[in-house]
Amino acid sequence: MSGMNLPPGLRPSSGPPQQGGQRGAPSPEEREAAEARARQQDEMKRTMIAAMLEPAARERLSRISLTRPQLAAQVETLLVNMGQQGQIRGQVSDEALKGLLEQVSNPAPAKSTSSVSQSSRTKTLGGGITIQRKRDDSDSDEYDL
């Protein structure tokens, strides 16, 4: 069918479109625009969090971000979502931030503590910390009281 009528500006192709190879890597302008959008969103997020938190809570969150960046990012995301949904009125206190931190960090350890057997030699603390005492294989008959 060489006599196929195509709209003006279109030519018959010899195969499937080759957009995959040409569009594989973004152009420098697209990459720069994406980086600018990411920086702008990050700055807006920081501004929202700074406005939502009291100074003591802001300081606590910044210290946490130094030691546990993933936890801090989860709390920041939670704060932004709560702020956008109107669940936060006024500023978040240090005590309220502690509660959020417990909410974010406790679900994972809560599941694992149910499978841990509690014995006289094992003690499970919050935050996924388990203390296990040394086992003493000696017989208790060896000791005279």
> pLDDT tens across 43-66, in order?
988 888 888 899 999 999 999 999
Q: Is 112 part of a structural domain of the chain?
A: no
Q: Is 57 part of a structural domain of the chain?
A: yes
Q: Which domain holds residue 64?
A: 28-107
Check if the beta carbon of residue 93 is closer than 8 Å to that of residue 76.
no
> pLDDT class for 116, splitting at 50, 70, 90?
very low
Instruction: List Cα–Cα distances, 14 to 4, 11, 24, 86, in angstroms.
Output: 14, 10, 21, 56
**Radius of gyration (Cα) for the chain, nearest Å?**
29
> pLDDT class for 106, splitting at 50, 70, 90?
confident
> pLDDT class for 6, splitting at 50, 70, 90?
low
- Torsion angle, alpha carbons of 81, 87, 90, 95, to 10: -80
Check if the beta carbon of residue 128 is closer than 8 Å to that of residue 112.
yes
CA–CA distance, 133 with 145 (Å, rounded to integer): 23
Instruction: List Cα–Cα distances, 98 to 9, 58, 64, in angstroms.
Output: 64, 11, 11
- Total of domains in the chain: 1
Q: What is the pLDDT of residue 129?
A: 80
Q: Check which CATH number belongs to the domain holding 66 and give it.
A: 1.10.8.140
Calculate ∠ Cα 7-10-12, nearest 5°.
Answer: 110
Q: Is 36 part of a structural domain of the chain?
A: yes
Per-residue tokens: 59: 């300081």
Q: Is 37 part of a structural domain of the chain?
A: yes
Query: pTM, whole model, 2 decimals?
Result: 0.52
Q: Which residues contact 64 (CB under 8 A, 6 or more apart)?
A: 71, 72, 75, 101
Q: Is 135 part of a structural domain of the chain?
A: no
Q: Is 20 part of a structural domain of the chain?
A: no
Per-residue tokens: 129: 């910390």
DSSP state for residue 130 in the 8-state scheme: E
Q: Is 138 part of a structural domain of the chain?
A: no
Q: Is 99 part of a structural domain of the chain?
A: yes
